[in-house]
Structure 1
Amino acid sequence: MISKREKLFGAIGAAAAILLFTVIMLAKNYQGCGIIKSKSAYENESLNAGASFDRASGRMRSSAPPAPSARAAAEASTDNAENIAADERKLIKTGNISLEVKDYDSSAKAIASMVSEFEGFILRSSKYVSDDNYASGDISVKVKPAHFDSFAARLDSLGRVKSKNSYINDVTEQYIDLESRLNSSLRVEKRLKEILSIKTKNVKDILEVEKELARVGEKIEQLKGRKKYLDNQIGLATINIHIDEERDIVTGSYKFLERIRYAFRGGVNAFISITSGIITVIGALIALSIYGLLFALILAGIKKFRKKQ
């Protein structure tokens, strides 16, 4: 006959066996579970080099800890930007200068010669001529940041400086963040290509990986374009030059004659405008009269035809 103590130990043993079996089954289910990740999961896996492929099921599974949050990445990027030395920072330098010169064309040629001397180039230029035959315009040039101050000093010698300013835009933090995102996306792309190279019969998984690969490739191109733009802005400083041709001092008598000349020119233009308007109206009236006469003749013909009937 079994004692109460033996029954108690038997019950405890049975419970322990059931618990152990349950734990083993849960562990197997957890290890064997593998599905194609969503867009965000792809990036988190590949960034941590933790994506793997289950050959038995033909699916991806994760074997790495989760990726750091976007906030943590941004904070790390900020810390890196603050620790960079002053001579290694990413700076965009821009200057503006307004000049008054005696002759616009000669000054523009001098600026073009200076740009060649400083190994830069003219980004854009424009010229305007007023009614009283005075020229003005704008010229934007690109030079190396190391030549910025020397070039600006040479501009001062072309004429009277009306205004002058310069400013620097520090894009170090933005540049570091851009590089970090680009490198992360390149790692994701590399891992996705490795996954595609593994043979699997699961068409759905292949289509999902190819879709994600296309999205990551597009993102990489956008990041590369933005980085190239920043590199161009950092590598060359911009100087915007506004030029006004110096106006002659007008005496009282000369000013009076100029007013008469402008008044006469305005009167002639007004007379031409009025005359052309009158001619247009007369032409329109003649055309309307002809159409009216034709219409009256047609009506008279119709009435005469009806009377005969």
Structure 2
Amino acid sequence: MNNFDQSPSKKMAVIVPTFNRACYLSNAISYVLGQTYDNWTLIIVDDGSSDNTSQVVEPFLSDKRIKYIYQKNKGLAAARNTGIRMSSSEYLAFLDDDDIWFSDRLEKAVRWLDVNPKHAWVYSQVIMNSVNENKKWVYPKPVPEPTLENLFMENTPQVLSVTVRREFLKITGLFDERIKMCEDYDLWLRLANIAPYGVIQKTLGEYVLHSQSMTNDQARMFVGALSVIRNSVKLMNEKLPWLKIRWRISNLYYLIAKNNFKGKNYYAGILFFVKFVITYPLLGRSLSKIINRLKEIYDQELLKVFRGRKCADS
């Protein structure tokens, strides 16, 4: 099913990729319909779903701003790229099917980009909602000025908060379809390398961490970020001191190690902790820093493992 027509382009295109998540999709569509800004087109890209996604979308298609396209499964980056190619809007926003937008999300983004025409993209903070921990926090942390350096070093905006000016994608290209995790971070870095970007100082959405897969998703995210950072090293060598690049890679090794310990994958945790230590030369010279980091990830489960081995040997 493809209901694209030749109607005039809207200023904002909202791209919603989905795959076998019909249970979430109607909520995502409702968040777009509930926006205070209404000069948009919504493009839903069904990436090969085998559930009832098309039936969920069908009632919404009476609104001519909403478009639906089905394609064979190609992955998240490819689905977003399909949506971009099928639109001609000046601005592009992205909403995954299980994310939440607040009602002024699009209005704030359009207003900001309209008054900052030289900026390639803008983002906002979002609320991170960890379902199984019953915990919420605001992410990413505030920065005094959005720069390529702080984007590379630690500040990774959530895709649901980002709005991109289309013309800059003609220079950088679209999402890299070879990357299966953190493909959005890769694109933000490429955009930030050619033009300034900005931040809206307000939380405009919510990202839900689902309990059943949170640890695995975090592990994949950290590994994906590591891959993106490694691919960006050649570019960043011209922008940042060597030690800062090494620190960024080292810190990702630490996060992967910590995540593995949390998931009781102790062998992998130790392996990545060793990589964390040896990757950043200055850290390797400071025993106290290494010990402090070990304390951060040394949980009660790991303590039980070592106690159990000690009892077995006695």
Which of 1 and 2 has higher RCO (CA within 8 Å, sep 6+)?
1
Q: Same fold (TM over 0.5)?
A: no
Q: Specify which structure has the higher proportion of helix.
A: 1
Q: TM-score, normalised by structure 1?
A: 0.24
